[in-house]
Chain A
């Protein structure tokens, strides 16, 4: 296997920056391409790469398709060699159907990234130990980028205590690890070929992912390596330069969470005839929908009760479905985590086949919460102001990974043998198609328990696809 060029790859792909108390995403627009390129040239060596020692700050950078064009990477043939999803961006009529961005989540209502918002060209992701360091660091960056770029929108994220998200659940437990990186292997089918996440390396099909190539010479191409996938232009008798090598794609979606609506809905399911709410029962229903307890412990291992934050099992990722919970009586087929990573029970395939299929549809999640530092529960579910999740993920093939997961595993109510069950957390339609049901089925010993008329508690507020270039490509982009 080709060794990874860690000093070329931006570190956010490998490092969650968990120790960073402040994470701010600056969405920028190019107003002067020459000045913007100057900024890129000056910042390239400061971009945090995977071999860098991380101190009190870190910074990473990405570009939208329109952003590359605004910089001057506008040759049609060159742009065309980027993946279609990236090139078109998150907002197209077809993609709206795939991602399920309807009603309140309609891109026309977004706060950024939508058709009615200012164009986003660049994302500057600035991380720091604490707010004051963040502010100082940002001011120094701002001085450099201001002549060429203006701020369109700022997303202010942070990790919540105990790695929880606002609904109240511990998040980010199951995460793929790139083989050959400096991250310790994760085991449990989570160690994947680099090509699933880094362009220019072989993926789980043992082929190179589609790579953006410099078809028509532009800028200082000497900075770029040849394409390792071996795409040659026979007519011109030379290999194309690869601007994708050591780069990746980043998906970002701002998801507002209606914590009050979520818990109120669930508590209604745990209310008896006299109007008494059973909070323990409500928590259990919520856990059934998630597939893990609030602490993070998987239902497959703890079917009845949350072992709590002190239990080692809160990080447990070593379970399998086929052998431990084939009929879904512990962890329902429709639950969020069983859909997002079906492990050894992908459709009706054998365990071995399932594991290898699952490996082809994974993402590396990079999430931050925004709004009040609030962790919801059955007892306490009214945050002040808007709260939500800045959902981010890395993948080398947006269609095969992020979009596939969102459409086929989350939004499609036909997952496995189900009839009318979308993902209860992220797949429910706010206004379902006339006549369509939206249920959550909890398999039980005899009759299944069904929670009907699911409601949507997540609203998309913005989103975009970004190309995260290698350090070399970033330098190249400053010369176009």
Chain B
């Protein structure tokens, strides 16, 4: 099984090159929107890529330490990081050079080699605090292959006249025979490994959590008395947000069935809040690696990849996600399905809607939470996805199709298999 990993590169932009960088990114964005962009495809290990210019103006709230303008490049990739970096600097060299030329310390034209470029990216790459993958183990190649398999079977089923008395088992067998006759699907004979819920780790985590109950209670009361009570009530609503800012975000939304979300927030400037944030990151890591392995993050069934990244000496936090559907649905899902998780994490950032014991208020304060989300969102300058027409549910369903195709199914199971189309 090929594992997927996050890569985040945060490089300082030369003061006099911000505009130029923005211009260069706009060209890439336009090409991506018109589907005329052809470069990113040349990086086989790349699932999603995004470029964001993060400046002081990107922060809704006062940063706790001074920040300059930086270029964020984030990818989700298959396998080995070194290999991915090599692919990036050799297969899309022009992009890398054009963009990082605008950044500080990038090798001069004469000194640009695979190694020097890689070491530059490496130098500015930063650690991820928590990472979620909606289809663990599915490489870009596998996603495409399984999609082609599903489409092929779909066509086969629909172009055939099936005997009204044919059983699901018979049809399943006929499909397998058909696929066996096609050399291009030879790969499908090998079972796709799928990550299961790691019960052992989960039980360990549960026990730890039980052991920590007294601490959690004390912590929650402490936070309530000394922090939450003093937090300001948030009154900002969506209608009150700056039109220019919101329209800039909307300009690049809903162009495809999938969308992106980039956010930057400032952690509350005290030790206990930062500690609490780290604890929540730990929880998220444990759950994302062991429990949320079947395409649902905190019960939300539409997220392909998501990550939290602490920057600026752990004072500010970035959140990225790639999801199906649109903003209203996505944020609504967060409130409906996992308001507690979001509240736990983001209540440690400034001007988040007021919470009580980290449980109530917060994300459940719908109007103010939506306004908080929109106002801390940052426009994404360029965003690439190699499979924009597939939902995360489609991707996971396709893997099940592949695996069930090779299994000997009973009538009930074969019916379930056929219903996947």
A200 at interface by CB-CB < 8 Å: no
CB within 8 A of A404: which of B328, B389, B418?
Answer: B328
Closest to B258 in A: A414
Contact A360 B336 (CB under 8 A): yes
Contact A414 B324 (CB under 8 A): yes
Contact count A vs B, C-beta below 8 Å: 112
Closest CB in chain B relative to A192 CB, distance in Å: 15
**Bound: A10/B254 CA distance, A:** 35
Contact B328 A400 (CB under 8 A): yes
B231 at interface by CB-CB < 8 Å: no
CB within 8 A of A205: which of B241, B366, B415?
Answer: B366
Chain A residue contacts of B421, Cβ below 8 A: 441, 447-448
B276 at interface by CB-CB < 8 Å: no
Contact A357 B239 (CB under 8 A): no
How many of chain B's residues have a CB under 8 angstroms from any CB in A? 50
Contact A446 B167 (CB under 8 A): yes
B141 at interface by CB-CB < 8 Å: no
B49 at interface by CB-CB < 8 Å: no
Contacts A353-B337, A448-B418 aside, 12 further interface pairs with beta carbons under 8 A come to A80-B239, A208-B367, A356-B336, A360-B336, A403-B328, A412-B257, A414-B324, A417-B393, A417-B394, A419-B391, A447-B157, A447-B418
Among B56-64, B119-127, B214-222, B245-253, the stretch that binds chain A is: B245-253
Among A12-20, A82-90, A133-141, A463-471, the stretch that binds chain B is: A82-90
Q: List 23 A-B contacts (CB under 8 A).
A: A93-B251, A97-B254, A98-B254, A203-B366, A205-B335, A210-B237, A210-B239, A349-B299, A357-B336, A360-B336, A399-B238, A404-B328, A407-B326, A414-B257, A414-B324, A414-B391, A416-B393, A441-B421, A446-B171, A446-B418, A448-B421, A450-B158, A452-B158
**Bound: A441/B157 CA distance, A:** 13
Chain A residue contacts of B250, Cβ below 8 A: 94
B321 at interface by CB-CB < 8 Å: no
> Given A80-B240, A208-B367, A450-B158, do A414 and B393 touch, yes or no (CB 8 Å)?
yes
Contact A447 B171 (CB under 8 A): yes
Chain A residue contacts of B241, Cβ below 8 A: 84
A327 at interface by CB-CB < 8 Å: yes
Closest CB in chain A relative to B54 CB, distance in Å: 24
Contact A448 B332 (CB under 8 A): no
Chain B residue contacts of A448, Cβ below 8 A: 157, 418-419, 421
Chain B residue contacts of A349, Cβ below 8 A: 299, 337
**Bound: A94/B326 CA distance, A:** 11
**Bound: A82/B237 CA distance, A:** 10
Chain A residue contacts of B253, Cβ below 8 A: 94
Instruction: Please provide the chain B residues from 279 to 329 with a CB less than 8 Å away from any CB of chain A in the complex.
Output: 296, 299, 301, 324-326, 328-329
> Given A408-B326, A419-B394, A436-B389, do A210 and B418 touch, yes or no (CB 8 Å)?
no
**Bound: A446/B171 CA distance, A:** 8
Chain A residue contacts of B332, Cβ below 8 A: 360, 400, 404
Annotate B19-38 by CB proximity to A: 1 below 8 A, 0 otherwise: 00000000000000000000
Residue from A97, A353, A447 whose CB has the most chain B CB atoms within 10 Å: A447
**Bound: A203/B257 CA distance, A:** 29
Instruction: Please provide the chain A residues from 38 to 66 with a CB less than 8 Å away from any CB of chain B in the complex.
Output: none
**Bound: A82/B162 CA distance, A:** 57
Chain A residue contacts of B229, Cβ below 8 A: none
